[in-house]
């Protein structure tokens, strides 16, 4: 069955662990139960849910297999989060250091 919850995102992209936590709550699953089903260490799922670990391509493949849908969804969530964080932390520094190419 595909992912059951949808969320409109405004502002900075949330960590994909927030989406995973919502999905677990909607399905009344624990992180430990999901880890067992995915055959992954429980610590990996717990860290993702707490926003302390990124979703890797392998984890995305396993999540997509379990929940349905595409692994690209999980990776897009991770990339959006990473890019928002990088922009917030590095945009001013990069703007000061890098001159745009002439048109």
pLDDT tens digits, 6-33: 555 578 999 999 999 999 999 999 999 9
> Does residue 75 form part of some domain?
yes
Question: Does 73 reside within a domain?
Answer: yes
Judge whether 8 lies within some domain: no
Number of domains observed in the structure of the chain: 1
Q: Provide the pLDDT confidence category of residue 37 given band limits of 50, 70 and 90.
A: very high
CATH of the domain at 39: 1.10.260.40
Indicate the average pLDDT of the chain.
93
User: pTM (2 decimals)?
Assistant: 0.84
In a domain, 5, yes or no: no
Nearest to 17 by CA among 67, 73, 74: 74
Task: Confirm whether 2 is domain-assigned.
Answer: no
Domain contains 64: yes
Domain that holds residue 76: 16-97
Give me Rg for the CA atoms of the chain: 16
């Amino acid at each position: 069955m595909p992912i059951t919850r949808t969320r409109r995102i405004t502002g900075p992209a949330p960590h994909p662990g927030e989406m995973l936590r919502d999905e677990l709550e909607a399905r009344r699953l624990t992180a430990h139960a999901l880890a067992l089903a995915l055959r992954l260490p429980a610590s990996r799922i717990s860290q993702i849910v707490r926003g302390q670990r990124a979703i890797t391509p392998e984890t995305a493949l396993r999540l997509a297999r379990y929940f349905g849908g595409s692994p690209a969804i999980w990776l897009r969530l991770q990339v959006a989060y990473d890019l928002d964080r990088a922009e917030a932390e590095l945009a001013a520094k990069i703007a000061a250091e890098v001159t745009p190419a002439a048109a």
